[in-house]
Amino acid sequence: MVKFKIDEIEYQIGDYLTIDQYAKIFNIKDLFTDEYFAAKLINIICGTPLQTLLESEYNSIQYLASYILSLLPTQNTEFVDRFEIDGVQYGFFPNWKDLTFAEFADMDTIATKKAEELLPMLHMLAAIMYRPIVSEKSRHDFKIEDYNYDKMMERANLFKNKLDVKYVISAQFFFIKYAKTYSNYFQVSSIKNLSIWKQIKLIWTMSRMIYRHPSKRTSDGSLYSIELLKTILQSTEPSLKKR
């Protein structure tokens, strides 16, 4: 956590970005080359008056902006299958093959949207993938709450302002990785020519069909259109290198 004072008022930047903060950064991504970008970034994250920031020391503003950008998750962000918020343990759904139609349909509705349409719904996507743990045999062997749309929406509102965005972004890369693994498993060239999400839809259908044949089973699955991730990464990496 970084704390700083301007005009005797103390502000702070946490040690992670929430889903809401991540969305706000994306919304100003086109300003990365703007000479006032650093000040605008601090303004949306900390609420510090923009004019006050523009009148502050240049090196301090650049340092704070660089720190905020360093919190953005990347494709190397480690996947985490569980976390705790307000005393409640949440876990990532254990098996892709066991997804219900409702879960799959709701993720499909969200994940196939364009990047600018997806951002306001990212907290909902997180709430579908991570749900309260109801029982566990070990740290990574657990059962989560059955999917319920109303509870998902309540959880999404909590996640929006409290959940570290790295969890949902790392889950996206986790899905992408296993979509590619599945494509290799089925060894169907036409699958590899489809978009990631279309691959997943086809693979999910196939895996449901062959589930009764143990010799052909696999253990995980995948999700997501990577347009958002590419846009964020392409925008932020040059900025980080520059700073």
pLDDT at 179: 55
Q: What is the pLDDT of residues 175-229, one digit of tens each?
A: 666 555 555 544 444 445 555 555 555 555 554 444 333 333 334 333 333 344 4
Mean pLDDT for the chain overall: 76
Its pTM stands at 0.72
The better pLDDT of the pair 20, 105 is held by: 20
With CA atoms as reference, report the closest residue to 86 among 147, 136, 154, 138.
Answer: 154
Q: Hey, where are the domains in the chain? A: 2-71, 82-231
pLDDT at 215: 37
pLDDT at 199: 56
pLDDT at 213: 39
